């Protein structure tokens, strides 16, 4: 019963469900002997799933992920991070220079530059959705690394960007950038990250995959109830922060890490349910931009047999 699997993760709060499931023994309960593999970026993690070096992971939907699915290497099996009305989600930022020059609302972004890591990244998607909704033109600047984008924002070399709250809030707090809107307004029910695995695991290792999702869902439930619904009160939050701090911001002292961890709180899809309408929307956008092949269908990307398919 004790199957050894590898789960890929980034050191972000959005991966907390995996950390919780491991720390609280949910994986072990499901008969899974889990080893976490940490990555510096999402893209190599996706490739590692394709090559079979890692079994399960969570990441945003990107052009690379869709391409790998198209090559028959990976499948999306469930949802994770999700935008939800009422909870602080991803923020739209303006650089101080642009803000002072009057950029105080996303509607005024016409002709401005918008920072993305790479074309075909989730930042690119969010930016285009804003542009489409507002009927404006945005210039996208690919800067590869989040650090480079922060540098460019602070020095006013790009005008706007969108990013998760735990990075957005401290930046805005320092006065170097300003929050001018939220992504929720433009992309409701945005399924930001998804759980995925290799096509092999999805088709041939059904029970293992189901077990993974079960344990993963328990992690999600704990996280949501403690951090969002405050079921355990502040003591519960403290305990959870302690747990997450083992994996995130490890080289900062606890008291400095805690605000960042709490700031980063966003709803994870309960039961790892997947919002397929959002996924379809993203897929169509990638296709319309010519970043991935026209012929890819939702079925190529998603294995719908594991979790609830919202909006199908």
Partner 1 sequence: MSDISAVSPGLRPVTYRGGGFVPSPRRWVGFMVFVLLILLAEWGTRTGWISQLTLPKPSDVLVTFQSLYDSGLLFKHLGPSLGRLFMGALIGVSAGVSVGVLIGLFTYIRSGMVPLVAAIFPIPKIALLPLFVIWFGIGEGSKYALIAFGTFTPTVVATYGAVDNVDRTLIRMGQSFGLTWFSIVRKIVLPGAMPGILSGLRISLAIAIILLVAAEMLGAEYGIGAYILEAGSLYDLDRLFAGVVILSVLGVLVSASIGLVENRLLKWRV
Torsion of the alpha carbons at 196, 197, 203 and 207, rounded to the nearest 10: -90
Q: How many residues bind to partner 1 according to rule CB under 8 A?
A: 46
Q: For partner 1, which residue of 86, 135, 147, 233 counts as binding (CB under 8 A)?
A: 147
Q: CA triplet 271, 276, 278: central angle to 5 degrees?
A: 110
Tokens of 178: 């300003």
Q: How many other β-carbons are positioned within 10 Å of the β-carbon of residue 24? A: 15
Closest CA to 8 of 33, 37, 34, 35: 37
For the bound state, the minimum distance from the C-beta of residue 301 to partner 1, rounded and expressed in Å, comes to 14
For the bound state, the minimum distance from the C-beta of residue 145 to partner 1, rounded and expressed in Å, comes to 6
Check binding of 157 to partner 1 (CB under 8 A): yes
User: Look-up: residue for tokens 């950390």?
Assistant: 19
Check binding of 50 to partner 1 (CB under 8 A): yes
Q: For partner 1, which residue of 17, 152, 220, 257 counts as binding (CB under 8 A)?
A: 152
Check binding of 277 to partner 1 (CB under 8 A): no
For the bound state, the minimum distance from the C-beta of residue 274 to partner 1, rounded and expressed in Å, comes to 22
Print the binding letters for residues 207-246 with partner 1: x by CB under 8 A, - otherwise.
----------------------------------------
For the bound state, the minimum distance from the C-beta of residue 52 to partner 1, rounded and expressed in Å, comes to 8
Indicate the residue among 155 and 207 with the shorter CB distance to partner 1. Answer: 155
Check binding of 284 to partner 1 (CB under 8 A): no
What contacts 182, CB < 8 A, 6 or more positions away? 88, 89, 90, 91, 92
Q: How many other β-carbons are positioned within 10 Å of the β-carbon of residue 280? A: 17
Check binding of 41 to partner 1 (CB under 8 A): yes
CB-CB contact of 125 with 101 (8 Å)? no
State the DSSP H helix or E strand holding residue 193, giving kind and residue range, or none if neither. Answer: strand 193-198
Q: For partner 1, which residue of 31, 35, 51, 173 counts as binding (CB under 8 A)?
A: 51
Q: For partner 1, which residue of 7, 17, 60, 68 counts as binding (CB under 8 A)?
A: 68
d(CA 277, CA 310): 7
d(CA 255, CA 44): 32
CA-to-CA separations, 58 to 32, 122, 172, 184, in angstroms, rounded? 17, 14, 27, 21
Q: Looking at 78-86, 112-120, 179-187, 210-218, which segment touches partner 1 (CB under 8 A)?
A: 112-120
d(CA 288, CA 293): 9
In the three-class reduction of DSSP (H, G, I as helix; E, B as strand; rest coil), residue 275 is classed as: strand
For the bound state, the minimum distance from the C-beta of residue 225 to partner 1, rounded and expressed in Å, comes to 29
Print the binding letters for residues 160-179 with partner 1: x by CB under 8 A, - otherwise.
--------------------
For the bound state, the minimum distance from the C-beta of residue 308 to partner 1, rounded and expressed in Å, comes to 29
Closest CA to 170 of 266, 265, 259, 249: 259
Q: For partner 1, which residue of 126, 143, 202, 220 counts as binding (CB under 8 A)?
A: 143
Check binding of 95 to partner 1 (CB under 8 A): no
For the bound state, the minimum distance from the C-beta of residue 264 to partner 1, rounded and expressed in Å, comes to 13
- CA 98 to chain centroid, in Å, comes to 27
Check binding of 292 to partner 1 (CB under 8 A): yes
Q: CA triplet 218, 223, 228: central angle to 5 degrees?
A: 135
Contacts with partner 1 by CB under 8 A lie at 8, 11, 37-41, 43-48, 50-51, 53-54, 62-64, 67-68, 71, 73, 118-121, 141-148, 150-152, 154-155, 157-158, 251, 291-292
């Amino acid at each position: 019963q004790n199957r050894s699997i590898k789960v890929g993760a980034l050191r972000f709060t959005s991966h907390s469900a995996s950390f919780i499931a491991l720390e609280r023994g949910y994986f072990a309960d499901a008969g899974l002997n889990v080893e976490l593999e940490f990555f510096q970026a999402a893209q190599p993690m996706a490739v590692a799933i394709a090559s079979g070096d890692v079994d399960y992971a969570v990441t945003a939907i990107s052009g690379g992920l869709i391409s790998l699915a198209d090559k028959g290497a990976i499948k999306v099996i469930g949802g994770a991070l999700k935008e939800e009305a009422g909870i602080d989600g991803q923020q739209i930022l303006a650089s101080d220079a642009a803000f002072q020059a009057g950029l105080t609302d996303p509607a005024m972004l016409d002709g401005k530059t918008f920072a993305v890591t790479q074309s075909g990244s989730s930042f690119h998607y969010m930016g285009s959705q804003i542009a489409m909704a507002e009927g404006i033109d945005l210039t996208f600047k690919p800067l590869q690394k989040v650090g480079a984008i922060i540098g460019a924002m602070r020095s006013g070399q790009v005008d706007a960007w969108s990013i998760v709250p735990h990075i957005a809030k401290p930046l805005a707090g320092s006065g170097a950038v300003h929050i001018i809107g939220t992504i929720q307004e433009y992309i409701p029910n945005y399924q930001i990250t998804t759980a995925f695995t290799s096509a092999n695991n999805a088709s041939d290792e059904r029970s293992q995959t189901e077990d993974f999702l079960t344990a993963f869902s328990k992690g999600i439930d704990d996280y949501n109830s403690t951090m969002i619904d405050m079921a355990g009160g502040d003591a519960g939050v403290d305990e959870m922060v302690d747990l997450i701090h083992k994996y995130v911001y490890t080289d900062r002292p606890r008291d400095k890490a805690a605000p960042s961890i709490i700031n980063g709180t966003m709803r994870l899809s309960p039961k790892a349910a997947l919002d397929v309408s959002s996924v379809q929307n993203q897929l169509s956008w990638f296709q319309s931009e010519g970043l991935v092949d026209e012929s890819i269908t939702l079925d190529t990307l998603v294995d719908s047999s594991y979790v609830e398919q919202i909006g199908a």
